[in-house]
A = this chain, B = another copy of it.
Amino acid sequence: MTDFRFELLAQDGEARTGVIHTPRGEIRTPAFMPVGTAATVKAMLPQSVRETGADILLGNTYHLMLRPGAERIARLGGLHKFMDWQRPILTDSGGFQVMSLSALRKISEEGVKFQSHIDGHEEFLSPERAMAIQRLLGSDIQMVFDECPALPATHGAIEKSMALSMRWAKRSKDAFGEQSEEERRGRACFGIVQGGTFTDLRVRSAQALKEIGFDGYAVGGLAVGEPQSAMFETLEATVPHLPADRPRYLMGVGKPSDIVGAVLRGIDMFDCVLPTRSGRNGQAFTWDGPLNLRNARHAEDQEPLDAACRCPACRSYSRAYLHHVVKAGEIIASMLLTAHNLTFFQDVMRTLREAIADGRAASFAAQFLLRYGGSEAPDG
């Protein structure tokens, strides 16, 4: 059986391309992970997700612990079998959703008490419980439990929160290490750098995580409303302090221009609901920027979204058809636009990997941004 291993294939400036080897398959980096919140990538069958080019999915600990429950999924043979996705799965630790979705949170050194957003029942998450849930799910890449402070916040507040997250990171790693060797084999545990946009805190957080030692290093707490320039500056201050031989994951990012810019700054992995959620809202990503299919100008447009795209929407349908099914609220609109958007994101990643391998990452990024446009707002 293959162990978890990151193989760096080429570097171009700070940008890197490589392969993460896992027992469940290879993950080509830079990688985009579609989000499979509740044991499904919304509006997609797993086979269709794979056909977009995805090597790995993200599952949400918070959602799955509430419904259908981690112990239940374990009894049913684990998340891969449950949702029919045999390739790698990364699970977050629930920390972010506890902050953004649940009610009546109470944070202590021990963990977080909160109420389910589904039915209000009381739940508890701690580093130990978050890792236990990820083990029950059978996750290939397990994330440490961290606190995600609300922004804006003072240096003092972020420092305190980061310090707590680092203590939780140590407890998470210890809990991961206490799994049996057989269970752990080929599975990875990633730390999460916190510290807001304060570069001194980011550096301290990165150093604290390196001392604990992880299979990969994530950057959390970004893309929460700060300007893109602040995100990029934070990455520039953080990435040099992360080990070069481990994958780097920018959590919850993002827009295509965010991804391209973060890859240039040394990030290897991404996840975001943007392609799936936008697809359900009638928005399509293209190399010429986003389109809103609801717009009446598409009503008699016989052209596909993108004649060069290999997705089911572009192979078989006109923009006029997509406009019609978006307006009519038909499920096929969500299915086709989600498939298209995930294909687009994977094609961006593939093109980035090729550009890095060829030593032309910066010129590709410049050309991409020129054509895609500075604004991420759909054309209406």
Contacts and interface: CB of A to CB of B under 8 A. Distances in A.
Interface of A: 38-40, 42-46, 67-68, 72, 75-77, 82-84, 299-300, 302, 312, 316-318, 320-321, 323-325, 327-328, 330-332, 334-336
Contacts of A43: 331-332, 335
A318 B45 contact: no
A44 B72 CA distance: 29
B82 A318 contact: yes
Contacts of A45: 312, 332, 335-336
Nearest to A85: B316
Given A42-B332, A67-B328, A68-B320, 17 more contacts: A38-B328, A38-B330, A39-B324, A40-B325, A40-B331, A42-B330, A42-B331, A44-B332, A45-B336, A68-B324, A68-B327, A72-B299, A72-B320, A75-B300, A77-B302, A82-B318, A331-B335
A234 to B, nearest CB: 35
Number of this chain's copies in the complex: 2
Contact of A317 (B42, B84, B334): B84
B68 A299 contact: yes
Contacts of A42: 330-332
Nearest to A323: B68
Contacts of A327: 67-68
A302 B76 contact: yes
Q: For the complex of A and B, list the 6 residue pairs with the smallest distance between their C-beta atoms, beginning with the closest.
A: A84-B316, A43-B331, A40-B332, A68-B324, A38-B328, A40-B330
A341 B318 CA distance: 29
Contacts of A68: 299, 320, 323-324, 327
A335 to B, nearest CB: 7
Contacts of A334: 331
A302 B44 CA distance: 22
12 contacts: A38-B325, A39-B325, A43-B332, A43-B335, A44-B332, A67-B324, A75-B300, A76-B318, A82-B320, A331-B334, A331-B335, A335-B335
B39 A321 contact: yes
A330 B317 CA distance: 24
Contacts of A323: 68
A268 to B, nearest CB: 29
A40 B325 CA distance: 8
